[in-house]
Amino acid sequence: MNLLKNQIAQQVGALLGADSGLSHEDILKLIEYPPEPKMGDLSVACFRFSKILRKSPVAIAEDFKSRICIDGVARTEAVNGYLNFFVSDSYRMSLLDGINAAGDDYGKNDIGSGKTVCIDYSSPNIAKEFHIGHLGTTVIGNSLKRIHAFSGYKCVGINYLGDWGTQFGRLIVAYKTWADKEKIERDGVEELGRIYKEFYERAEKDPSLNDRAREEFNKMEQGDPESLRLWQWFREISLQKFMETYKLLGIDFDSYDGEGFFHDKAQEVVDELKEKNLLEESDGAMLVRLDDYNMPPCLILKNDGSSLYTTRDIAAAIYRKKTYNFDKCLYVTDAGQSLHFAQFFKVIGLMGYDWEDELVHIPYGKISVNGAKLASRTGNVVLLSDLFNDAIERVKAIMDEKNPDLENRDEIARKVGLGAVIFNQLSSGRIKDVNFVWEDALNFDGNTGPYAQYTYARSCSVLEKAGKAPDCDISDYEMNPVERELVAVLSKFPEKVASALDDYEPSAVTRYILDLCQSFNRFYHDCPIMKASDREKAARIKMCRAVRYTLGNALWLIGLEKTEKI
């Protein structure tokens, strides 16, 4: 429909005249999809034109009706100041041909062509668990990366591992004081998690452990070889485990340079800030004042001289700009970190870098499972790997009941189980809190990943059963309302991709998937293929193919894997 919208906007623009003060984009925004089919397929609200033309909207709509002529529009009506366009069925058929010709490329745009975007996402904290607090960043980031790639951007996926900080000091103390090397070698990250928790328990009784942890971290910062060797070891053990989850999800990153990679570059940031007169001392610590921007000061160095999360983030941003020359750098984290990003973006600007505005924080809401909030200190954590594996097992159980003879059961259960979790996370606007309830996420009849994957599989099996399309001319095929509605939904996909990109909002695609599934399922029930005339059959096969491509592309954009059988 984009093409039609553009043509309408152009002709309206010409009728308004060059000095109307409305740009092509302004007029495009006035073109809507009417809520009901009887109001047409596209509609222009003429109210804004009243002042320009000094006529009533009703008169303008009447006047424009006879003067706008567009190929593909069968009929135009003027109703109460609205100009309603009714698209012809032959135009709809040509839309279907366009979709099927584009295939896997349908919905792509070139907004990002020649541009680079860095996407910092997932970024778990090493030596701690990879828990469901990182589900949002992992799946939102992955989807944003795909949406950007689909829009022509060169994408650099960055896993900015939280692999530096006092937590390593704690681990080193735990290791040196009570941990068992063999156990760590055997049980890997689980054992690290256990001794880490034990540290907190012991430190409650013996607070001096905290001082020792700070000392150990300080030694790491000073480059002490023994400390760095231990750090490296802990990092590798944890990363190995994280990689299993990424492999399960089919996610890969272009860079795993985390905080540790930047710790020795933090000094350069400090020097630069000093040189630019931005640094101020306060109780032995160093900070940048942000009073003028209504923010608390941004801490750069602690009073023991060690660097902070923020210091390393500043170093990393400068490094990324130099290395990738990005046009945008996105940071996907929970909304709790919003101040941190606002502060360090501002410091980048104060340092004189003119790309402050290219840094974008993408916040998202909190997650709970069956209503229970995440609390890592008390050990009430759900590991991401457990959540996914649990989902897969539950899907297997459902499948054994519904379709016990399914081939490739394990592979399909993996796709559907992961899909259920991912879809659930991406269902509503990202800033909203997400509650994970198994029964809801796995409901094959609800607004879920399994339902979307099931609908995709249905489009495949319909096509398989239908076989070859009868060879007949259907360019003048007359559609029924259900078919028209289906084509209308299909034709909106490119716009949904563009809006998901604009708002950094994968849920625009998720919601679209539900619309398309609903429309296709109605079509499936109301419009038989096997018992239809040759012309109907040929047209409906075209529609099914367009659904399969569009739904397939949309599923890919949110990181769901397709399955032809379910």
Rule CB under 6 A: which residues touch ligand ARG? 120, 123-125, 160, 162, 313, 331, 333
Minimum CB separation from ligand ARG for residue 253, in Å?
12
Minimum CB separation from ligand ARG for residue 360, in Å?
12
DSSP summary character for residue 291 = G
Dist. CA 30–CA 22, nearest whole Å: 11
Minimum CB separation from ligand ARG for residue 250, in Å?
22
* Nearest to ligand ARG of 333, 550 (CB atom): 333
Minimum CB separation from ligand ARG for residue 313, in Å?
5
Q: Quick check: helix, strand or coil at residue 31?
A: strand
Among the residues of 427-533, which ranges form H helices? 438-441, 449-466, 481-491, 493-503, 507-526
* Nearest to ligand ARG of 256, 556 (CB atom): 256
Minimum CB separation from ligand ARG for residue 322, in Å?
16
Site of tokens 């006047």? 63
Minimum CB separation from ligand ARG for residue 427, in Å?
23
CB 123 within 8 A of CB 136: no
Q: Quick check: helix, strand or coil at residue 109?
A: coil
> By 3-state DSSP, what share of the chain in percent is helix, strand and coil, each rounded to 5?
60, 10, 30
Which residue from 558, 554, 552, 550 is spatially nearest to 506, judged by alpha carbons?
558
Dist. CA 558–CA 511, nearest whole Å: 11
* Nearest to ligand ARG of 331, 345 (CB atom): 331
* Nearest to ligand ARG of 175, 261 (CB atom): 261
CB-based contacts of 51, cutoff 8 Å, min separation 6: none
- Position closest to ligand ARG via CB: 162
* Nearest to ligand ARG of 344, 523 (CB atom): 344
Minimum CB separation from ligand ARG for residue 366, in Å?
13
Instruction: Report residue 455 as tokens.
Output: 């609908």
Sheet hosting strand 31-32, strand order edge to edge: 31-32, 42-45, 82-87, 73-79
Minimum CB separation from ligand ARG for residue 471, in Å?
57
* Nearest to ligand ARG of 309, 438 (CB atom): 309
* Nearest to ligand ARG of 150, 160 (CB atom): 160
* Nearest to ligand ARG of 162, 559 (CB atom): 162
Minimum CB separation from ligand ARG for residue 215, in Å?
23
Minimum CB separation from ligand ARG for residue 188, in Å?
20
Cα dist. 183→128, 293, 454, 497 in Å? 17, 50, 44, 49
Q: Quick check: helix, strand or coil at residue 452?
A: helix
Dist. CA 478–CA 483, nearest whole Å: 10
Count the neighbouring beta carbons within 10 Å of the beta carbon of residue 296. 11
Question: What angle is formed at CA 40 by the lines to CA 35 and CA 45, rounded to 5 degrees?
Answer: 75
DSSP-assigned beta bridge partners for residue 383: 131
* Nearest to ligand ARG of 135, 501 (CB atom): 135
* Nearest to ligand ARG of 234, 331 (CB atom): 331
Dist. CA 523–CA 486, nearest whole Å: 7
